[in-house]
Structure 1
Amino acid sequence: MADLLLHSAAAVVTMDGPTGPDGGSGMLDGGWVAVDGDRIAAVGGPGDPRPDAREAVDLTGHVVLPGLVSAHQHSMDYLLRASTARPADFPGWLFGVYYRGVAAMTPDDARLAATLSAFASQRAGVTTVCDNWGVAGGAAPGHVLDCADATLDAYRQAGGRVVLARMLGDTLPPALAEAAAAHGVDPSGLVAPAGRVLGELRALMDRFPAGGRVVVCPAPELPEMASPGLRPAVVELARSRRVPLCTHLAASPPS
């Protein structure tokens, strides 16, 4: 007996391509989904016998579809939507709004941002998120870790699957350093020594390894923000831990 039966949906969208002997579209009109615990036990069409269930929900007029995936977002941006700043260009927003904003956030702010971001995603049908996360790598180590802990705890409580891509860097190209200073941001606060970066990252990855509902992976904020020593180290760390590696490609002007 299934725990839950969702039935009579206008359409059930499946993940495994065409269904049935006629090579259908992957949509079952009037279909049903049986759930046991936290797993989908079976999916069927209107002509398939429905299993018994402890609870049945009639979804006539509704569509049942797999959870969507957000491959790249920034939970810390969520609170910055309230900013009244209207910068004239991207560097103005990046340094004058984003970096100044996240660097000032407290652990409570980080928790609130992650909670709101998670719930907004789930409301939109997004059940898996890759959150490219950071609060300015050169901030005090205790502050960075406290904000990371608050964010991860919020995700544990909110549900859904999360890959926390911990943004990092140990060097800042001159053009970016100049842009940061021009917008009132101390360039040294955006990066940290490679040893500290790797130590903080490994500690988080030990606590949230591959296979869990919440996973931590490395994310050089930009390829050019990782030194020749740090870059291969984070690549090898991602490979050895069997997690993704994230970054922002083609985000900087040619040097």
Structure 2
Amino acid sequence: MQKQVIDLNADMGESFGPWQIGDGVDQHIMPLISSANIATGFHAGDPATMASSVSLAKASGVAVGAHPGYRDLVGFGRRTIQASVQELVQDAVYQIGALQAFLQLEGMRMQHVKPHGALYMAMASDEALSYAFLQAVQQLSPQLAVYCMAGSATHRAATALGVRAIREFFADRDYDTSGSIVFTRKMGRLSPPAVADKVALACRDGLVDTVDGQRIPIEFDSICIHSDTPGALELIRTTRSRLLQAGITIRAPHAPSTV
């Protein structure tokens, strides 16, 4: 049965100082999405970028989540960092707190937390890390949701702990037959109509085509298109248009709210 309402999210604020990540089009992407995952400084982002991203989200009526990653600026958070669960959770709390301060200055509340890159994938298969991470998130704010893949260790931990899980569909990533995304370090330019077709199939029939030609069921609450994917603006613009044409409302899980 076709979805009637869907969240459209993107990873935002992933530049650092004078270095721009992707096409440098955050200001054009923000008004097209409903939820923004703002980088919190360890894989990308800096205080000025966080502040401007939060301000832009507020002006665009977009809900905001923290996007903490490994302490890996050089590798953009896509390299696995060997550290204890305690250290990784403390790093995440530090990053979430930094973004929370900028949200408070703008009179906004944080909607969610979404781990970035290699940390997201590590948590997807690590029950202990997922439990520790989400227990800390709960202590910070019981209202915070977590963005994750359906059926992942993160999803299972969230269900057990009573943390709201927002299951993601990755429009600009390939899937394998297990339902996991195929990790890649460098994305090529994708066809906007093809990505929109992929999203339309998922929203209409709950299905996705895999890299080996299979068609598998997929469950999700939010569509993600990464802002650092080449041509991200046109991918998001075309996908948004297709969703609206299909009569699907684009809305954040929690509407942006004041403190």
Report the TM-score, using the length of structure 1 for normalisation: 0.42
| Higher RCO (CA < 8 A, seq sep 6+) | 2
Q: TM-score, normalised by structure 2?
A: 0.41
